[in-house]
Chain A
Amino acid sequence: MLIQKPADILPSEITDRALYQRRRDFIKAAAAGAIAGSLGLPAQAAVRGTPLANVQKSIWTLDEKPTPYESVTTYGNFYEFGPDKDSPGKNAHRLRTRPWTITVEGEVKKPRTFAIEDVLKWGALEERTYRFRCVEGWSMVVPWIGFPFSEIARHVEITGDAKYVEFVSLADPEQMPYVRVPLLDWPYVEGLRIDEALHPLTLMTVGLYGEVLPNQTGAPVRLVLPWNYGFKSAKSIVKIRFVREMPKSSWMKSAPDEYGFYSNVNPDVPHRRWSQAQERRLGEFLKRKTLPFNGYAEQVAKLYTGMDLRKNY
């Protein structure tokens, strides 16, 4: 069920008065979802989630028009819920996002397991509108809500030996039917170099469009790295490991000649089978030019100084 127990809504998530009316809409939508669920029907992907409170606008805004909520929540890849673009929207209602813990371990002084509720109380959340570019050649603009990943690192006190970070997603066949199918090496694993992970743009994301992250978009907590191809932004994260060696991601294991560790959006380095020079923004008919680092070169290009990005794709 998308939203099973409204009682679980936390003080930190409770809406302010301005959003109260939307909350009423949410309750109606949740009721509709519950009926659909009890009839064995797939819950509507567009059921609106709980509004998030304590959200501040950040400097990360864009002049570009955000992709409609409907598109963001009905189109995407989340292979744990099925192979098609609409599978997550149809199947992710089975994901239970409470209780949820994130275990942080490895090269840290204070290994911890955080409950998602506690993480949400760390401080104000930020709304950041980022471009999002999939390796397949489509893109969107999403107003995400989250906090910098460096907050996690700060809470566990990483050591000097933490050179990379490994992210592990949930792989529960009860909730994620396609984890039984060996489409990829489950659980989904992604990795970042420590400087990429600590970069201020790297967002631990808990919401979008003012609301709690809808299940199909990687609830309750996911990464968003706007300058990388979308698959680097791991969803439904349960474990974060600070490590010495470069982790091997699920995609690197699946097709090493097509997917590398860095996966920077780069119009000049084609995918092995298709060009990356252009992209189709959801909602647009004609393609637009893909920007180096997805338009974030000014902020992130320095992370890769001296590296041959053709080799380190």
Chain B
Amino acid sequence: MTLSNRQLATLKITLFLLALIPAAHLGWRAMTDGLGANPVEELTRNTGTWTFNFLLLTLSITPLRALTGQHWLTRLRRMLGLFAFFYGTLHFSTFIGFEHMFDVNEMLKDVLKRPFVTVGFAAFVLLIPLAATSFNRAIRWLGGKRWQELHRSIYAIGILATVHYFWLVKITAIQWPLLYAAMLAILLGWRARERMRRYGPFPKTPTVQPIRIVDTSKFG
């Protein structure tokens, strides 16, 4: 199936509006006193969860495209990634705003002292260059290959986010980070397997090189 530009535009607008629903719902709850007894905790948790959801959605595009052959899916990936950044920014804002009242020094101390904050902060910082280079001209400036290498840091970001989640919950809530870790493992595991399938297994003799059939730049 191929989509016309018009169809794709409709799809993108729909997806854009859908992706705003969690934020709109949260805003509605905040205004109508619907965030429960500890609103700040709920804001932080909710935005954190949606950041992770969009990270996983972004990472699922490539496997989905490969499995279904629907190449237009790739054209939705940038928006999903930017929504991960959007929710990540909200998440970070609740952290710096409500935890540290915008005191950057206090925040940095916290980042250094508490490992779960350290990894969460690292994941957020690593998202910034990806969001900043998410337009077509940036791809041209960097060159497709370098751009792609840069954007592979999304794998590391996913792992950091998982560690962040594991380290912040009590043992009684361990099922949630376990679930997210399992989903991430499937998405990254699929990529690893594809890589093995296409390039490996490598022969033991060092002089014999595998024949490269596929241009690496086609990997996402």
| Binding between chains A and B | yes
> A residues touching B (Cβ–Cβ < 8 Å)?
67, 70-71, 74-75, 77, 79, 83-86, 136, 138, 183-184, 254-255, 273-275, 280, 282-283, 285-287
B154-172 interface bits toward A, Cβ cutoff 8 Å, 1 = contact, 0 = none: 0000000000000110111
Residues of B within 8 A of A84 (CB): 173
Contact B172 A184 (CB under 8 A): yes
Contact A280 B116 (CB under 8 A): no
Contact A75 B38 (CB under 8 A): yes
A interface, over-half SS: loop
Residues of B within 8 A of A283 (CB): 37
Contact of B98 among A71, A275, A285 (CB under 8 A): A285
B107-115, B187-195, B210-218: which lies at the interface: B107-115
Interface residues on B, range: 20 to 34
- Bound form: Cα–Cα A255–B170 in Å: 9
The 8 closest A-B pairs by CB, nearest first: A75-B37, A71-B37, A183-B172, A282-B37, A83-B172, A83-B173, A79-B172, A254-B171
Residues of A within 8 A of B115 (CB): 273
- Bound form: Cα–Cα A273–B113 in Å: 9
Contact of A70 among B37, B99, B167, B168 (CB under 8 A): B37
8 contacts between A and B (CB under 8 A): A67-B37, A75-B38, A83-B175, A254-B171, A255-B171, A273-B114, A280-B41, A287-B99
- Bound form: Cα–Cα A223–B69 in Å: 61
Contact B114 A138 (CB under 8 A): no
Contact A286 B101 (CB under 8 A): yes
B86-102 interface bits toward A, Cβ cutoff 8 Å, 1 = contact, 0 = none: 00000000000011010
B104 to chain A, nearest CB (A): 17
Contact B36 A85 (CB under 8 A): yes
Contact B40 A285 (CB under 8 A): yes
Contact B113 A282 (CB under 8 A): no
B55-88 interface bits toward A, Cβ cutoff 8 Å, 1 = contact, 0 = none: 0000000000000000000000000000000000
Determine which residue in B36, B38, B113, B171 has the highest number of CB atoms from chain A within 10 A of its CB, and name it. Answer: B38
